[in-house]
Amino acid sequence: MPWLGAAYLWVKAAHVIFVIFLMAGLFMMPRFFVYHQETVPGSPEDKRWIEREARLLKIILNPSLTLVWVFGLMLMVEIGAWHFGWFHLKLLFVLALSGYHGWIAGYVKKLAKGERPLTDRQLRLLNEIPGVAAAVIVIAVIVKPF
């Protein structure tokens, strides 16, 4: 029995909107990292990148991830998604993206401390993760291959 009623489409719309915000942040932050790593630790430019990254994390990424999960769980319950194979694939990749978000938050802290553990090339490769995950998630949800 549906419990969201007429709110279902609003919840679905909110879920998609915050997924878009989250993905934008997940694509932006590694690019920020590439530019940030080119600065000298402790320089005025370094401090500006630290501030930009903190704001992107605090204003866009963290709230978006939270709301994606809240609205997504509401939708999961509403449609009984746990019983569908496509949902398990989606959930696996959503968990991976959530872990990627956690890695991003950790890397923000490392850069703020002046640490530069990854190369520009490695960061550019890591920037492909959200795109691949988004493609798999969209195919799972739209095509429902199983």
pLDDT in tens, 61-119: 999 999 999 999 999 999 999 999 999 999 999 999 999 999 999 999 999 999 999 99
Annotated binding site for heme: 15, 90
What's the Cα-to-Cα distance from 75 to each of 10, 56, 87, 96, 101, rounded to whole Å? 11, 27, 11, 19, 22
Report the C-alpha gap between 35 and 46 in whole angstroms.
10
Q: Residue 128: in which H helix or E strand, if any? A: none
Annotated binding site: 15, 90
Q: Residue 99 belongs to what domain range?
A: 5-143
**Per the structure, how many domains does the chain have?**
1
The whole-model pTM stands at: 0.93
